[in-house]
Amino acid sequence: MIEIEKLEDGKAYMGHGRNFKVAIWDGHKFWGLRYKFGDKFMDDELHKSSDEHHGTFTPDKELT
């Protein structure tokens, strides 16, 4: 897992989340494309270590 302090704003990361596997870090949370009931839309998730109960995205690799 890439620690939250090492993430760079605007960079894309591959990892494990509740709703997506690729996401963009905006400095506060991750944004990714979510598919639900045939619709697709942007959704956000928190870094796993930022919130014990609601953090759901674990970044593993920075994409270039």
Per the domain annotation, does 64 fall within a domain?
A: no
Show the domain range for 46: 4-56
Binning pLDDT at 50, 70 and 90, where does residue 24 land? very high
Per the domain annotation, does 61 fall within a domain?
A: no
pLDDT over 90, % of the chain: 92
- Judge contact between 11 and 2, C-beta under 8 A: no
Per the domain annotation, does 63 fall within a domain?
A: no
Binning pLDDT at 50, 70 and 90, where does residue 53 land? confident
* pTM score: 0.91
- Start-to-end C-alpha separation, the chain: 17
Per the domain annotation, does 46 fall within a domain?
A: yes
Per the domain annotation, does 35 fall within a domain?
A: yes
Structure tokens at 52: 């014990």
Instruction: Note the pLDDT of residue 63.
Output: 98
Per the domain annotation, does 62 fall within a domain?
A: no
Average pLDDT score over residue span 9-38: 97
Domain count, the chain: 1
Per the domain annotation, does 39 fall within a domain?
A: yes
